[in-house]
Amino acid sequence: MSKVIIVTGASRGIGRNIAYNLAVNGYNVIANYNNSEKDAQKLKDELKMQGIEIDIFKANVSKRNDVQKLVNFVIDKYKKIDVLINNAGIAQSKLFTDITDEDFEKMMQTNLYSAFYMSQEVIRHMVREHKGSIINISSMYGITGASCEVHYSIAKAGMDGMTKALAKEYGPTNIRVNSIAPGAIDTDMNNDLNEEDWKKIIEETPLMKKGNPIDITRCIKWLIEDEFTTGQVISIDGGIVIR
């Protein structure tokens, strides 16, 4: 059986692109969504027209119960999970002093707790198989910090910390854990950026262009089949962060 891959937040943006392309490449894809049921169904239907079946599964991955239901569904159907892609996330731009407790909690729950819960529930099954790969979609802002996105930056830095710690703990069990830290990618998440904002970002980017979800998917495809990379935070950002 080809690899079984869960992609969280796969109804739109980067996650959708990952799920679509992995399915086209013959992997068994479980595309998670939360609110965007129609988009998720559209993804499934588009693939079906090409003779490709995927599962779509509604779960709010910031809730432990929903995560358990998602993981149980996959294990019942496929008996194993080869790859987990923790992609679901939200962003918010606010002055530090305007961030409410609710904003902070929602940011942590959606971007960080989700990856923690998903990884914990999935890794038990990977340990049994003595193999697996977890890919966390963090952000360049977890590395550099972003003004007016302190809570987002904290959550993404937390993800990268989790990546490194898990890589150490589970390396001996043949489970690889890596982060991909995207730069500015053209998705709904950046709908609040106007033409002027994009121009500025492009000017600051050595490759002088904005990112596309497929740029992230290419790295994912490589990471899925790689066998000697773990604990890394891989920047896919046109060079905007050069460390």
User: Which residues in this chain contact ligand NAP in the complex, by CB under 6 A?
Assistant: 8-9, 11-15, 32-36, 60-62, 87-91, 110, 137, 139, 182, 184-185, 187-190
Residue 27 annotated among the catalytic residues of the structure: no
Nearer to ligand NAP, 18 or 167 (CB): 18
Between residues 75 and 189, which has the closer beta carbon with respect to ligand NAP? Answer: 189
From residue 7, give the alpha-carbon distance in Å to each of 31, 90, 194.
5, 15, 29
| Strands laid side by side in the 4-7 sheet | 55-58, 28-33, 4-7, 83-86, 132-137, 175-182, 233-236
Active-site annotation holder among 27, 113, 141, 152: 152
Q: Least CB distance from residue 111 to ligand NAP, whole Å?
A: 6
Please report how close the Cβ of residue 60 comes to ligand NAP at its closest, in angstroms.
4
> Which amino acid makes up residue 117?
Y
Measured from the CB of residue 63, what is the shortest distance to ligand NAP in angstroms?
8
Task: Return the number of the residue (8 or 230) whose C-beta is nearest ligand NAP.
Answer: 8
Nearer to ligand NAP by Cβ, of 11 and 133: the residue is: 11
CA–CA distance, 163 with 157 (Å, rounded to integer): 10
Q: Is 235 helix (H, G, I), strand (E, B) or coil?
A: strand
Helix (H) or strand (E) holding 205: none
Smallest distance from ligand NAP to CB 189, Å: 3
Classify residue 185 by its DSSP letter.
Answer: B
Catalytic residues: 152
